């Protein structure tokens, strides 16, 4: 009697799984970078750097006043 071979779907399952993971990563990456388009990051960075510069200049003037220059 000839035994009927079952079709092996392992590679099909692996391929579909890889495709689904790649699609999920692309979708999440697109959603992750959505906030960069609003311009909020640039304004926040500008505000932060201005505060850092203000603190840096105030520290320098204080040091100069302390040393008597």
Please report the pLDDT score of residue 42 as a whole number.
81
- CA distances to 32, 33, 34, 40, 53 from 37, rounded to whole Å, are 11, 7, 6, 8, 26
Any idea of the CA torsion for 58, 59, 65, 66, to the nearest 10 degrees? 150
Higher pLDDT, 64 or 29: 29
Residue pair 41/35 in contact (Cβ under 8 Å)? The answer is yes
pLDDT over 90 percentage in the chain: 32
Report the C-alpha gap between 69 and 64 in whole angstroms: 5
Please state the pTM of the whole predicted model.
0.45
What are 13-40's pLDDT values in tens digits? 999 999 999 999 999 988 877 766 677 7
**Which H or E element spans position 9?**
none
| Domain range list for the chain | 10-67
The CA distance from 26 to 20, in Å, is: 10
């Amino acid at each position: 009697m000839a035994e009927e071979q079952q079709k092996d779907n392992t590679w099909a399952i692996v391929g579909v799984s890889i495709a689904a993971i790649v699609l999920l990563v692309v979708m999440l990456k697109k959603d992750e970078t959505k906030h960069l388009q609003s311009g909020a990051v640039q304004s926040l960075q500008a505000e932060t750097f201005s505060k850092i510069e203000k603190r840096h200049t105030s520290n320098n003037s204080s040091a100069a006043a302390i040393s008597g220059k």
